[in-house]
């Protein structure tokens, strides 16, 4: 390997690795003299040295060997870079493969282009030190740790020819999300899905601490991964020639195992869950870098995490160490006169779409095929009169999703944390059972709905599910995740990162094409947490969502069944959003027939004339609402007010698309100020009954002209084990509280309202007492009947 | 065991278990005829049957056996109930132990009291089906799953005599938080800490699915827990007599192992990490309940999860099944004529504080001893002039925390995800290293700061850390967790649940005493995420916090070093809050000397006269700010405006305590409207520079009289790999943007401002170009010097 020109294949592999290590180090340090053609000088060093060396050599080593594997076996292989701040190695390989220059022509395949790559790395206006939408070949935002393995599995589902190599950092491995996601193998069907090859990188250290998995005995490490259901192959050491041989052997073994597992499963169906191979790669942190600096160990230490030599521009001894280190890779032998990788090494990398950096699945929009969708008319329910009949919206949705599933058995999955049935979506099982590769018992035949070929994914880990779904949509497929509202917060941070990915991919990366939206159905809502109580009452996920870029998030609160269908149909057609749909799973009143629901949802907001008492001119009060249960209570309030004050002019506004409330300059769905004022008036009181925390409405509307007259009712963190009705009263979203607020706010009612206020208080107390005495989920009290005369029109 | 009176100890144990199973079933079903003294009739059945039977028998079984263990070994033992909706079993035992009646006298030790227990279970106005602050003996909110094991470890730290039995549901075990927390054993020192005894309950099924861990081969299960570092003892079966013997043997073995480990470690110091025992308890879900109902298996099936017999009031055949089931426990033999547990069984339970339900650690406020705190005057830095010198606030805080640590080596810990040093708190290591029970290498002596006796807890799992800290404070001790701002969202849901726990404990449970506050230091802030870029830019944790009850949350944004000290000192003295402190780790300007900082922080908000140009009367504009970096930019804007418009009357307001902004009716820290108006005027423009998403300020202030004139600058989700200065400009929180906003908003400047606006734009462009050209974290540009003349006073 020290010969002038690399002769054997392992020599060439070693040289390729050296080239990539050189680029990584160059990215950290150099702003000039990219190929060390002149003696290294302080002026060649970046003013501010930022980046992370520690993880690079191990990742480069792996990527180099994966290249060999791809070429030798003609593999369709993706790479997910899990270790924190691991982008340098991935960028180096994308550059060596030529694909980076195709995407970013200024970083051409010559010395000047290489220098530009160095300069833009971890520099303002450039690219970060972890993988991002900018990174060719990546579907994984590497800024936050823990999601590499679930992303890898998400990519592998329904891609039978794909192998996803998931490099997992030993720091990342300590996170909850990662620790749970090892069990994903119980949901991967080798007959239908691709393979995931986990490569745990025991780099030894995190930022400032040893990694736990690097400090447990070999026997425990082996047992842990056998316990997770894998067959770990250990590749450990620091002697490069020996390590190359070990890694090559290990990867050959993995491919043979994977192909064997797949062949057996595809020949005769998956009989049992296979034991998938994985690699435990133990290499020194900062391998091949400086061993010691100023008397402290750097290689194989946490000191190699970021910058091994911190001030080479300022200290001659450090400059010397850096020059020695960079020279040790022999860039003059690796790159030709123009600065391009020498042909013998270029030949090592796969070509075209086989290049890891150019794998088509990593730009999933290109592979996206729109869903075939059933006509929702076939699922809409009859609503002859508003507010008379009830329906269970998510149950009807389940039937619609069943048909979506049937029509898209190659590219649609439904995800849920053991709650698909609890959320009333179980009609889906008629089209496809639940994926299950773990043990099956005879008793499962009785309603278990479990099958290796199932397409409903249920594991009690919101993080794993969200990671799967992200990986699935980023590789161009479609899905929907339903989850209990309060526990959507478990994936707050994952949502944030996915939204940020979409935002950057849309606006900064022209070669990324639109991917299917990620659809979240938030159900088991705050207002129906009877026996679950306070811990299950948290509608705050919407506040997290509303903080993200308006270009990538949507929030829908369909008021009834047909609206839920309409909204979901829309979301399943959309791209590049996170769509959040809020709909309760209990039976609720229905208001809109199919066509009306579609019109209403398309507008996103509108006056319900049939519920209003006075449409054409200025009303006395606007009663507005968003959310199924708040809508019901708002309508009930109107019904009472109509009886009390026959002349009261009420306009009733329902909001489905929450972002219609923001000014149009701030969100593409936002109403213009004029349109907003036409709905909400310039000066009349607006009593707004909202599903979630009331401040969110103020946050959206505070710039509106009539905002000072908005009085928002919503969840105020007042709850316990209550009947739904009592919970509504405690938080002031019940019909009586709303009606009383109208009495307070409408000037001409103030004089005549004392008696009515007493009446309402008495009615509220009576209803509450009745609900308490019944001690039940008093639907009879909560659900209100529209007066038999039907809607009033004026 | 079928004899009239239980003779052997195992007979008595069995009978005790039957009594507890009976109570669990009674809680689900009965609203009358508590002891089946009359034939069961439909009228005796609850109108709405809510609850979860599946987990009860296994938990009751365990609790019964733990009682035997406590008595036999005189153990100080706590129980953490992890399985979802597991409260019935815990309540049953608390009732059998008599402690429940002491806390809730209406549930007396007789038939009437038992009936009241039944009636209030899972009923409106009563108690929920999972553990909550209401539950005696619990520190664990059981509504959301995943935190039982980390809570248990948190309780065990620094409690050398305590054993915490953590019952872990096999559903819960699938969550990320739980999967990561098994590694907690690498942080438990047997010489100093108590023991955690994990009992994994392989109940077989979740809501509607098998549990993964129940469907992997024995060899994998064994390997998994050996890999996690435990020695699992399997107790498996459904034959009660055999199971009693196995469980008793297993628990004896566990106690012997634990005591052996502790004795060895305490005699000679912990030499190596011990292999702790754990139990894998595999019992049928809904054990002892109905086997089949309507032809479907119920026992040992997901159908046993909630209500095995769903309509006994409506169907005679179901009533019969229920009657048979309830009778099978023989309540007439278990309870005496008055309805009290018979004396032979009462004698089985431990007495007094040894009762699990009465363990003192589970009401940690009673054990709380306030921290000894150093005089912060000794840590305050000199600030001879505002805005001249810089300091690294978290580094100074680290020195303060070092002294706190030294003075409280028995009851204070600091937590952080591998970021304590990165967050500049490393002075703490002078007082105490990092807890580390995994392998130590010789090289760790060089700066590793690792030690079995360390008190700084670092694992790369925010969830595990938060769980430890929650367990630690709920058992009466003190701590602080520092974390990167963007990734605080990983624990959003845990924060929510802890805040909800505190709220209920304070307001609904009179016997719970105040526990130390949970302190979160949010650092590595959005405004200093140079190379990390967009993924690290998310200040939205504050929005999650602001949704919670004002009685239990506090948010502080100290503008400089001395303020950070003052705020932290205050937080460490407080009880029953979650305190969130936001402070960047980079060097920043300092403004207030020690006494001024203390006064300012105590007020929480105030005018900085030295930065204002006009104090006594109405100003032309109020410039307000909250957060260290926004404060710096706001001050720089004032400096520029002063130069441009010598007569401009600026009032400068700094906000430390964010909740001063809410009306006093809504938060105890809220300013009265009058006080607010005195600061912010009734009608003058307020340019507010805020650390986080701007809408949060509107959310807090929308009811204020002058709100329409609030113009809030903050993070607008505009970021990439930028210099801090460019990031500030992109989001409009920089000095130039603020000054330009002042020009736009102050009426008398509008006429004369066109030229100045051009000047500011040019200055902004020039500064930006300079920052870009430098390509560095241009502190020289960002940090501004107060004019040498010093603060202007009028």
Q: Which among B51, B130, B418 is the nearest to A207, CB-wise?
A: B418
Bridge partners (DSSP) of residue B42 are: none
Q: At B603, list the tokens.
A: 């007020």
C-alpha–C-alpha distance, residues B634 and B688, integer Å: 8
* Predicted confidence (pLDDT) at residue B4 exceeds the cutoff of 70: no
690-729 of B, contacting A, C-beta below 8 A: 693, 695-696, 698-699, 702, 707-708, 717, 720-723, 726
CA of B24 vs chain A CAs: smallest distance (Å)? 16
At A720, is the pLDDT very low, low, confident or very high (cuts 50, 70, 90)?
A: confident
Which residue is closest to A433 within chain B, CA to CA? B209
CA of B269 vs chain A CAs: smallest distance (Å)? 20
* Predicted confidence (pLDDT) at residue A560 exceeds the cutoff of 50: yes
* Nearest C-alpha neighbor of B725 from the set B641, B652, B629: B629
At B221, is the pLDDT very low, low, confident or very high (cuts 50, 70, 90)?
A: very high
A337 touches chain B (CB under 8 A): no
pLDDT tens digit string along B443-485? 998 888 999 999 999 999 999 999 999 999 999 999 999 999 9
Complex ipTM over 0.90: yes
Task: Centre a 10 Å sphere on the Cβ of residue B482 and count the other Cβ atoms it contains.
Answer: 28
What's the topology of domain A9-352? Rossmann fold (3.40.50)
- Contact B496/A538, CB-based, under 8 Å? yes
Residue A610's SS3 state is helix
Rounded to an integer, the average pLDDT of A744-761 is 87
What pLDDT does residue A281 have? 98
* Predicted confidence (pLDDT) at residue B615 exceeds the cutoff of 80: no
B759 touches chain A (CB under 8 A): no
Are B9-352 and B367-588 in the same CATH fold? yes
DSSP A369-434: -PPP---GGGTPPP-SSTTT-EEEHHHHHHHHHHHHHHHTTTTEEEEESS-TTTTT-GGGGGT--E
Cβ atoms of A770 and A365 closer than 8 Å: no
Bridge partners (DSSP) of residue B30 are: B45
* CATH of span B606-783: 3.40.50.920
B438 touches chain A (CB under 8 A): yes
Q: What angle do CA A10, A11, A14 make, to 5 degrees?
A: 85
Q: Which among A443, A463, A543 is the nearest to B543, CB-wise?
A: A543
DSSP state of A312: T
C-alpha–C-alpha distance, residues B236 and B58, integer Å: 11
Q: Which among A228, A535, A699 is the nearest to B698, CB-wise?
A: A699
Cβ atoms of A420 and A430 closer than 8 Å: no
Using the Cα atoms of residue B214, residue B220, residue B221 and residue B224 in order, give the sign of their dihedral.
negative
Write out chain B residues lying below 8 Å of A549, CB-based.
717
Question: What is the model's pTM?
Answer: 0.97
A770 touches chain B (CB under 8 A): no
Rounded to an integer, the average pLDDT of A167-188 is 98
Cβ atoms of A198 and A149 closer than 8 Å: yes
* Nearest C-alpha neighbor of B80 from the set B144, B128, B137: B137
B533 touches chain A (CB under 8 A): yes
* Predicted confidence (pLDDT) at residue B214 exceeds the cutoff of 90: yes
- What residue spans define the domains of chain A? 9-352, 367-588, 606-783
* Predicted confidence (pLDDT) at residue B162 exceeds the cutoff of 60: yes
B48 touches chain A (CB under 8 A): yes
* Predicted confidence (pLDDT) at residue B33 exceeds the cutoff of 70: yes
Which residue is closest to B303 within chain A, CA to CA? A447
B296 touches chain A (CB under 8 A): yes
- Contact A141/B535, CB-based, under 8 Å? yes
What pLDDT does residue A793 have? 35
Task: Centre a 10 Å sphere on the Cβ of residue A699 and count the other Cβ atoms it contains.
Answer: 23
DSSP B86-119: -HHHHHHHHHHTTHHHHHSTTS-SSHHHHHHHHH
C-alpha–C-alpha distance, residues A750 and B731, integer Å: 45
C-alpha–C-alpha distance, residues B33 and B51, integer Å: 19
Write out chain A residues lying below 8 Å of B301, CB-based.
443, 446
CA of B757 vs chain A CAs: smallest distance (Å)? 23
A650 touches chain B (CB under 8 A): no
Q: In the Cβ-directed half-sphere of A19, how many Cα atoms lie within 13 Å? A: 32
Number of Cβ pairs < 8 A linking chain A and chain B: 399
585-644 of B, contacting A, C-beta below 8 A: none
- Contact B418/A459, CB-based, under 8 Å? no
* Nearest C-alpha neighbor of A512 from the set A553, A545, A477, A476: A476
CATH 3.40.50.970 describes domain B367-588? yes
267-286 of A, contacting B, C-beta below 8 A: none
Cβ atoms of A364 and A473 closer than 8 Å: yes
Q: Which among A540, A722, A777 is the nearest to B547, CB-wise?
A: A540
Across chain A, mean pLDDT equals: 93
DSSP state of B595: H
Using the Cα atoms of residue B467, residue B469, residue B471 and residue B473 in order, give the sign of their dihedral.
negative
C-alpha–C-alpha distance, residues A573 and A370, integer Å: 7
List Cα–Cα distances, A665 to A550, A617, A662, in angstroms.
10, 28, 8
- Contact B132/A534, CB-based, under 8 Å? yes
* Nearest C-alpha neighbor of B208 from the set A462, A438, A460, A530: A460
Which single residue is written with the structure tokens 């425990």? Answer: A220
- A782 burial via Cβ count (<10 Å: 0-12, 13-18, 19+): buried
Q: Which of A283-287, B522-526, B576-580, B780-784 has the lowest mean pLDDT?
A: B780-784
At A792, is the pLDDT very low, low, confident or very high (cuts 50, 70, 90)?
A: very low
Which residue is closest to A535 within chain B, CA to CA? B143
- The phi and psi torsions of B130 (rounded to 5 degrees) equal -130, 165
Q: Which among B47, B461, B699 is the nearest to A698, CB-wise?
A: B699
A150 touches chain B (CB under 8 A): no
The rounded percent of chain B whose pLDDT value lies above 70 is: 96
What pLDDT does residue B275 have? 97
What pLDDT does residue A617 have? 79
Using the Cα atoms of residue B382, residue B385, residue B386 and residue B390 in order, give the sign of their dihedral.
negative
- A410 burial via Cβ count (<10 Å: 0-12, 13-18, 19+): exposed
Write out chain A residues lying below 8 Å of B486, CB-based.
143-144, 493, 496
Q: Which among B217, B438, B489 is the nearest to A216, CB-wise?
A: B438
* Nearest C-alpha neighbor of B250 from the set B287, B214, B280, B227: B280
A130 touches chain B (CB under 8 A): yes
Cβ atoms of A733 and A726 closer than 8 Å: no
pLDDT tens digit string along A350-368? 999 999 999 999 999 999 9
CA of A470 vs chain B CAs: smallest distance (Å)? 16
Q: Which among A180, A540, A549 is the nearest to B179, CB-wise?
A: A180
What pLDDT does residue B774 have? 65
- Contact B720/A549, CB-based, under 8 Å? no
A347 touches chain B (CB under 8 A): no
B386 touches chain A (CB under 8 A): no
Tell me which range, A65-79, A291-305, B718-732, B746-760, is most confidently predicted by mean pLDDT: A65-79
* Predicted confidence (pLDDT) at residue B35 exceeds the cutoff of 90: yes
Across chain B, mean pLDDT equals: 93
Q: Which of A268-282, B512-526, B681-695, B756-770 has the lowest mean pLDDT?
A: B756-770
What pLDDT does residue B388 have? 87
Cβ atoms of B409 and B432 closer than 8 Å: yes
Task: Centre a 10 Å sphere on the Cβ of residue B354 and count the other Cβ atoms it contains.
Answer: 18
CA of B674 vs chain A CAs: smallest distance (Å)? 18
At A783, is the pLDDT very low, low, confident or very high (cuts 50, 70, 90)?
A: low
At B624, is the pLDDT very low, low, confident or very high (cuts 50, 70, 90)?
A: very high
What pLDDT does residue A772 have? 74
Question: When comparing pLDDT for B208 and B581, which is higher?
Answer: B581
DSSP state of A234: E
- Contact A540/B496, CB-based, under 8 Å? yes
Q: For chain A, what's the residue count?
A: 794
Q: Which among B143, B538, B775 is the nearest to A124, CB-wise?
A: B775
* Predicted confidence (pLDDT) at residue A782 exceeds the cutoff of 70: no
Q: Which among B143, B434, B461 is the nearest to A532, CB-wise?
A: B143
Residue A566's SS3 state is helix
B57 touches chain A (CB under 8 A): no
What pLDDT does residue A778 have? 46
Crossing angle of the two packed helices A87-96 and A56-73, in degrees rounded to 10: 40
Tell me which range, B110-124, B746-760, B769-783, is most confidently predicted by mean pLDDT: B110-124
At A724, is the pLDDT very low, low, confident or very high (cuts 50, 70, 90)?
A: confident
- Contact B496/A486, CB-based, under 8 Å? yes
C-alpha–C-alpha distance, residues B33 and A208, integer Å: 63
* Nearest C-alpha neighbor of B577 from the set B436, B697, B478: B478
Write out chain A residues lying below 8 Å of B278, CB-based.
none
Cβ atoms of B212 and A438 closer than 8 Å: yes
What pLDDT does residue A407 have? 98
What pLDDT does residue B5 have? 52
């Amino acid at each position: 390997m020290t010969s002038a020109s690399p002769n054997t294949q392992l020599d060439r592999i070693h040289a390729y690795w050296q080239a990539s290590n050189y680029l990584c180090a160059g990215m950290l340090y150099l702003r000039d003299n990219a190929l060390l053609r002149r003696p290294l000088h302080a002026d060649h060093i970046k003013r501010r040295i930022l980046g992370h060396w520690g993880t690079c050599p191990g990742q480069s080593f792996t990527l180099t060997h994966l290249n060999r594997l791809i070429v030798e076996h003609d593999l369709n292989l993706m790479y997910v870079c899990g270790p924190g701040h691991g982008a340098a190695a991935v960028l180096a390989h994308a550059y060596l493969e030529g694909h980076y220059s195709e995407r970013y022509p200024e970083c051409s395949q010559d010395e000047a282009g290489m220098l530009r790559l160095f300069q833009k790395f971890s520099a303002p206006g450039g690219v970060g030190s972890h993988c991002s939408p900018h990174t060719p070949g990546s579907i994984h935002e590497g800024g936050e740790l823990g999601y590499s393995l679930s992303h890898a599995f998400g990519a592998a589902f329904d891609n039978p020819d794909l192998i996803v190599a998931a490099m997992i950092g030993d720091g990342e491995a300590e996170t909850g999300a990662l620790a749970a996601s090892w069990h994903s193998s119980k949901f991967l069907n080798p007959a239908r899905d691709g393979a995931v090859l986990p490569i745990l990188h025991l780099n030894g250290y995190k930022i400032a601490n040893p990694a736990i998995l690097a400090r447990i005995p070999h026997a425990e490490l082996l047992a842990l991964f056998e316990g997770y259901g894998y067959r770990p192959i250990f590749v450990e050491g620091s002697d490069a020639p020996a390590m190359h041989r070990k890694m090559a052997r290990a990867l050959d073994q993995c491919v043979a195992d994977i192909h064997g597992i797949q062949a057996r499963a595809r020949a005769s169906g998956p009989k049992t869950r296979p034991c998938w191979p994985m690699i435990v790669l133990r290499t020194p942190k900062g391998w091949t870098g400086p061993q010691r600096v100023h008397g402290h160990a750097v290689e194989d230490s946490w000191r190699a995490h970021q910058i091994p030599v911190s001030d080479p521009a300022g200290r001659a001894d450090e400059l010397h160490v850096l020059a020695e280190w960079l020279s040790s890779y022999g860039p003059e032998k690796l790159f030709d006169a123009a600065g391009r990788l020498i042909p013998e090494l270029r030949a090592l990398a796969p070509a075209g779409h086989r290049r890891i950096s150019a794998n088509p699945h990593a730009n999933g929009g290109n592979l996206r095929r729109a869903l075939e969708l059933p006509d929702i008319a076939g699922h809409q329910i009859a609503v002859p009169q508003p507010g008379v009949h009830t329906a269970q919206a998510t149950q009807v949705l389940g039937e619609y999703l069943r048909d979506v599933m049937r029509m898209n058995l190659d590219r649609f999955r439904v995800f849920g944390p053991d709650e698909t049935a609890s959320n009333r979506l179980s009609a889906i099982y008629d089209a496809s059972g639940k994926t299950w590769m773990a043990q099956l018992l005879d008793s499962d035949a009785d309603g278990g709905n479990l099958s290796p070929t199932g397409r409903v994914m249920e594991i009690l880990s919101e993080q794993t599910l969200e990671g799967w779904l992200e990986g699935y949509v980023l590789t161009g497929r479609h899905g929907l995740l339903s989850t209990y509202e309060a526990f959507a917060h478990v994936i707050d941070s994952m949502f944030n990162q996915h939204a940020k990915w979409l935002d950057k991919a849309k606006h900064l990366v022209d070669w990324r094409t639109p991917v299917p939206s990620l659809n979240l159905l938030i159900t088991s809502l705050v207002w129906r947490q009877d026996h679950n109580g306070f811990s299950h009452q948290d509608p705050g996920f919407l506040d997290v969502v509303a903080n993200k870029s308006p270009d990538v998030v949507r929030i829908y609160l369909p008021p009834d069944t047909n609206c839920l269908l309409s909204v979901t149909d829309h979301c399943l057609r959309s791209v590049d959003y996170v769509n959040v749909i809020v709909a309760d799973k209990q039976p609720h009143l229905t208001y809109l027939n199919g066509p009306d629901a579609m019109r209403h949802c398309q507008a996103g907001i509108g006056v319900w004339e049939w519920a209003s008492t006075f449409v054409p001119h200025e009303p006395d009060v606007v009663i507005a609402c968003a959310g199924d249960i708040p809508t019901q209570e708002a309508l009930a309030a109107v019904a009472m007010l109509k009886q009390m004050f026959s002349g009261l002019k009420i306009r009733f506004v329902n909001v489905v698309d929450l972002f219609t409330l923001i000014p149009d300059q701030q969100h593409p769905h936002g109403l213009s100020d004029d349109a907003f004022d036409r709905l909400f008036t310039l000066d009349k009181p607006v009593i707004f009954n909202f599903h979630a925390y009331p401040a969110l409405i103020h946050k959206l509307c505070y710039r509106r002209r009539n905002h000072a007259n908005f009085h928002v009712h919503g969840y105020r963190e007042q709850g316990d084990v209550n009947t739904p009705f009592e919970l509504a009263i405690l938080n002031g979203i019940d019909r009586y509280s709303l009606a009383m607020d109208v009495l307070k706010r409408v000037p001409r009612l103030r004089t005549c309202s004392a008696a009515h206020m007493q009446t309402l208080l008495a009615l509220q107390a009576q209803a509450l007492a009745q609900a308490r005495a019944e001690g039940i989920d008093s639907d009879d009290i909560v659900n209100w009947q529209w007066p038999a005369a039907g809607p009033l029109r004026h």
